[in-house]
Amino acid sequence: PIGSTDQDRIRHLTVALPPRYAARLFEAQEAGVTEQQLQELAAEALKEVYFQDNGHRAGSLEEVRFTDIEHVEFDL
């Protein structure tokens, strides 16, 4: 529904990922995983941190997918 966590829309996010997710992303990148695998790891992290607010909302959310990505940037 419009305005819900499930709404399919463009989002502009600036999110600090917990160290465990950041480490997984950087380790995966160094290991040479595919872009798709990196997107899946990032989506998993954003599901918990952004959409579910570390367990405070959207508890029934099962999946987050990255589609039509315009820009993604990670740094320390």
* φ/ψ of residue 3, rounded to 5: 85, -5
- Per-residue pLDDT of 14-66, as tens digits, reads 888 888 888 998 899 999 999 889 988 988 888 888 877 776 776 677 777 77
Tell whether 76 is covered by a domain. no
Kindly state whether residue 1 falls inside one of the protein's structural domains.
no
The encoded tokens of residue 26 equal 């950087």
Looking at the domain assignment, is residue 39 inside a domain? yes
Determine, yes or no, domain membership for 44: yes
Strands (E), the chain: none
Q: Phi then psi for 72, rounded to 5 degrees?
A: -135, 135
Quick check: is 46 in a domain?
yes
Number of domains the chain contains: 1
* Domain assignment of residue 36, given as a range: 19-55
32 domain-assigned: yes
**Structural domain includes residue 36:** yes
